[in-house]
Amino acid sequence: MTDTALADPEVGGEDNDSAESSALAAGLRGLRLPTVAVGLAAVAGGILLIVSGENPLSVYWSILDESFLSGSGIGRTLEKATPMVMGGLAVAFAFKAGLFNIGGQGQLLLGAAFAAWVGYNFDLPLVVHLPLAMVVGGLVAALLGAIVGALKAYRGAHEVITTIMFNFVAGNLTDYLVSRDGPWNDPDGGAIARTPRIRDSAIIPTYGDIPIGFFIACGFAFLIWWLLNKTTFGFEIVTTGANKHAARYAGIGVNRIIILTMAISAFLAGIGGAIQSQGLFGRFEASNNAGLGFDGITIALLARTNPIAVIPAAILIGGLNASTTRLQQDFRIEPEVVSILQALILFFVAAPSVVRWLVRWKAIGDEEAIQLTGGWGA
Amino acid sequence: MSTIKPIPLVLAGLSLLAAILLYAWDGQQTEAVVSRAVVEAGPLLLGALCGLLCERSGVINIGIEGTMLMSAFAGFFIASYSGVIWIGMLGGLAMSAVVGLFLAWTSVTLKQDQIIAGTIINIFALGFTSFYYVQGRTMPGVPRVAIPVLKDLPFVGPMLFDHGILTYSAMFIVVAVHLMLYRTRWGLRTRAIGEHPSAADTVGVNVITLRYRNVILGGLLAGVAGLHLLQSASSFQRGMTNGKGFIALAVMLFGRYRPFGAMGAALLFGLLGGIQAQLQFKQALDIPPQFFGMIPYLLTIIVLAAAGLAARPPAAAGTPYEGA
């Protein structure tokens, strides 16, 4: 099991007395590792910043100030966090079945492009148009996910490689669709490869500084939580993830679960792309969504694959990303510093034993380590 | 272990035949295509050998992409600032050894999930090499050697014996890895700890040390692969690996975890890459460039689907060793 909430009561440590762990206590215990991991990543990142001649404290203060301490800052953070919630959900959901979807980038691009196409090409009333564009975007991505799942289930092609390869395929395909020779090109765009503007009836609005798309994403987080915890299908997914052979023995159609899980996972990433087009940019532009792909991995692991915890994790990483422009202006720091911080967070979250060794905190237990695969064939 | 790998062999044979026919039809173009194929196969082969060494020892390495990138980055900037290509190449190798050490530490000692460990390497490498990237620098080129007599051989001469030194090193390394893996005590032990570590442990093999050594060695091979990319591109670009580290994994699987199998698969990928480049260059087909761009990636997926179930991974790949 990968879920912290299900971890055994602690052996030793300071909360022996709360052994009958209430949901709250379990939740708080789940917060411990991610919090320490983020702290350690900040320290390690600080060392890298010192190496490149910056004062880490003023850099971190700038991030906080820019992304979390003003209305427009919070709006920008939530804007960045929205596709990340969806990307994080996509990765977390696939994890539950023991699958690693690192193709969020390609799935997001497909969702973004197809949602934009439905958005500009058709003239429909808002109640139909807006959800239709999102669902079409999601479904095209889901189709890609289903292919990945089928290749895994029937041909043993590992999803880590196929999803990465499909990232490049989807990137090229969407690039072509909106390029000058492509069918969806905006004739007014000049040299910019993009679609025409999405009609108002498919635009996801913004309320003041706050993007409504963020709440749609949160809705999906609760939906996925419900699906995993309250339905038979969710139980089948988690069982498959815990032990494929036992699941098969119990009569679960493992191949069907693998294909459906990948399809739903990709659907979530595709919806993330659709919200980008419909809520943020108002069109699909080839260069707009670069680099969002890997964020989902960090976020899913930071959330310990819990769908609800994906939301705060995405807000944190979204905040980091929302501050890159300011960091570039104030310190001439390249935006990629955020990827370094993310890799560090990922490292510490995925390696509780290092965290325990570094902070000498016994309460961070071994059972919290995420184990995902037992090899290529698994 | 004696099962022959029919698919790569047949494909290698077919491509050789095709190459000969093409040569008879248009020598110059064929030369260009095959020569390019050999160059493109280099990094894929070296990356695949990295994956092969690691997995044969029981450690899955999906951080090949990141290792290649880190090595190319270090190689380029150290060569650029020192002005000496050899120092740069040593720097790149050192960097890739460090990355290999990191993977060994996380997966062997910390027993962290190996797929996640590799992903951390890939994300970190992309961030690190972009963050510390400096624009507008150049480096001295990697030496190119035309081997005197051999290069004048008809047909194969210009294709095989007029390359940068790292392309030769790839040819050399694949033979070396094969011999070491199947003809030495080290090789037997390596295969043993990848299949049945506790049995190897019982007869006195130090599983932990050997895994460390092999994963670092694998890192070095991925480092050579990164330098090979640098040899072709002659400067560092952000994200210049472009998924080649993952294609290398497909090459490894297609070659069924065998060095020469990987070589056949890498040459096949290289050949298709060479043909693609030539068609695009000659504008022989009226196809948007994006579709050309998809070919290697689609091909990887098809190859994986074709080879997938047939390639049996080492039994212990992905499982940390807990002791006998």
Per-residue pLDDT band at B7 (split at 50, 70, 90): low
Strand partners, B144: B164
The predicted pLDDT at position A7 comes to 39
- Lowest-confidence pick of A6-10, A93-97, B5-9: A6-10
Q: Is the pLDDT of residue B284 over 80?
A: no
Q: Are B78 and B132 in contact (CB under 8 A)?
A: no
Per-residue pLDDT band at B250 (split at 50, 70, 90): confident
The predicted pLDDT at position B1 comes to 40
The predicted pLDDT at position B141 comes to 84
- Lowest-confidence pick of A6-15, A24-33, A47-56, B100-109: A6-15
| C-alpha distance from residue B203 to each of A97, A209, B158, B196, B323 (Å) | 38, 67, 50, 11, 13
Tokens of B109: 């000692």
Average pLDDT of chain B is: 85
Task: List CB contacts of A93: < 8 A, sequence separation 6 or more.
Answer: A224, A228, A261, A264, A265, A268, A307
B286 contacts in chain A (CB < 8 Å): none
Residue A17 lies in a domain: no
A-B contacts at Cβ under 8 angstroms: 156
Residue A73 lies in a domain: yes
Residue A190 lies in a domain: yes
CATH of the domain at A208: 1.10.3470
The percentage of chain A sitting over the pLDDT mark of 70, rounded to a whole number, equals 86
In order of their start, the domains of chain B are 6-310 (1.10.3470)
Closest by CA to A323, choosing from A74, A19, A4, is A74
In this prediction, residues B70-75 reach a mean pLDDT of 96
The predicted pLDDT at position B309 comes to 59
CA distance B210 to B215: 8
Q: DSSP string spanning A347-363?
A: HHHH-HHHHHHHHT-TT
Residue A347 lies in a domain: yes
Residue A8 lies in a domain: no
In this prediction, residues B104-120 reach a mean pLDDT of 88
Q: Is the pLDDT of residue A367 over 80?
A: no
Q: Does the beta-carbon distance from A376 to B298 stay under 8 Å?
A: no
CA distance A311 to A218: 7
DSSP assignment, residue B142? P
In this prediction, residues B143-154 reach a mean pLDDT of 78
Per-residue pLDDT band at B16 (split at 50, 70, 90): confident
Q: Is the pLDDT of residue A166 over 90?
A: yes
Q: Does the beta-carbon distance from A353 to B317 stay under 8 Å?
A: no
Q: DSSP string spanning B259-290?
A: HHHHHHHHHHHHHHHHHHHHHHHHT-S---HH
pLDDT of A96-119, one tens digit each?
A: 998 989 889 999 999 999 999 999
- Lowest-confidence pick of A5-9, A96-100, A143-147, A190-194: A5-9
In this prediction, residues B20-34 reach a mean pLDDT of 72
Number of domains in chain A: 1
Residue A378 lies in a domain: no
DSSP assignment, residue B84? -
Backbone φ and ψ of B164, nearest 5°:
-70, 155
Tokens of A21: 């762990």
The predicted pLDDT at position A313 comes to 92
Residue A316 lies in domain: 26-368
CB proximity B147 to A under 8 Å: no
Q: Does the beta-carbon distance from B114 to A373 stay under 8 Å?
A: yes
Distance, in angstroms, between A193 CA and closest chain B CA?
Answer: 13
- Lowest-confidence pick of A148-152, A359-363, B191-195, B312-316: A359-363
pLDDT of A316-335, one tens digit each?
A: 999 988 888 888 888 888 88
The percentage of chain B sitting over the pLDDT mark of 90, rounded to a whole number, equals 39
Q: Does the beta-carbon distance from B112 to A52 stay under 8 Å?
A: no
Q: Is the pLDDT of residue A130 over 90?
A: yes
In this prediction, residues B277-290 reach a mean pLDDT of 75
| C-alpha distance from residue B116 to each of B103, B212, B224 (Å) | 10, 18, 24
| Closest chain B residue to A182, measured at CA | B288
In this prediction, residues B227-251 reach a mean pLDDT of 89
The predicted pLDDT at position B116 comes to 83
Per-residue pLDDT band at A27 (split at 50, 70, 90): low
The predicted pLDDT at position A23 comes to 63
pLDDT of B86-99, one tens digit each?
A: 999 999 999 999 99
Instruction: Report which listed range, A297-311, B22-36, B62-76, B194-208, is most confident.
Output: B62-76
CB proximity B83 to A under 8 Å: no
Tokens of A127: 């109640």
The residue with greater pLDDT, B292 or B156, is B292
Residue A20 lies in a domain: no
Distance, in angstroms, between A59 CA and closest chain B CA?
Answer: 15
Count of other CB atoms within 10 angstroms of residue A359: 13
Backbone φ and ψ of A194, nearest 5°:
-160, 165
Q: Does the beta-carbon distance from B127 to A339 stay under 8 Å?
A: yes
Residue A14 lies in a domain: no
Could you tell me what percentage of chain B is helix, strand and coil, using 3-state DSSP and rounding each to the nearest 5?
75, 0, 25
Distance, in angstroms, between A54 CA and closest chain B CA?
Answer: 13
Q: Is the pLDDT of residue B161 over 90?
A: no
The predicted pLDDT at position A362 comes to 60
The predicted pLDDT at position B19 comes to 67
The predicted pLDDT at position A8 comes to 39
Range list of β-strands (E), chain A: 206-207, 210-211
Tokens 């492509």 correspond to what residue? A182
The predicted pLDDT at position A377 comes to 44
Q: Is the pLDDT of residue A234 over 80?
A: yes
Per-residue pLDDT band at A372 (split at 50, 70, 90): low
Per-residue pLDDT band at A3 (split at 50, 70, 90): very low
Per-residue pLDDT band at B313 (split at 50, 70, 90): confident
The predicted pLDDT at position A310 comes to 94
Residues 245-284 of B with CB under 8 A from A: 246-247, 249-250, 253
In this prediction, residues A146-175 reach a mean pLDDT of 90
Distance, in angstroms, between B85 CA and closest chain A CA?
Answer: 25
Task: List CB contacts of A357: < 8 A, sequence separation 6 or more.
Answer: none
Average pLDDT of chain A is: 84
B126 contacts in chain A (CB < 8 Å): 294, 336, 339
| Closest chain B residue to A350, measured at CA | B112
Tokens of A8: 């055994």
Per-residue pLDDT band at B238 (split at 50, 70, 90): confident
The residue with greater pLDDT, B284 or A244, is A244
The residue with greater pLDDT, B155 or A239, is A239
- Lowest-confidence pick of A42-51, A258-267, A270-279, B21-30: B21-30
The predicted pLDDT at position A221 comes to 96
Per-residue pLDDT band at B311 (split at 50, 70, 90): low
| Closest chain B residue to A295, measured at CA | B123
CA atoms within 13 A on the CB side of B218: 39
| Angle of CA points B13, B15, B18, to nearest 5° | 110
Q: Is the pLDDT of residue B192 over 70?
A: yes
Residues 87-146 of B with CB under 8 A from A: 106, 110-117, 119-120, 122-124, 126-128, 130-133
Which residue from B111, B131, B301 is facing A157, i.e. has the nearest CB? B301
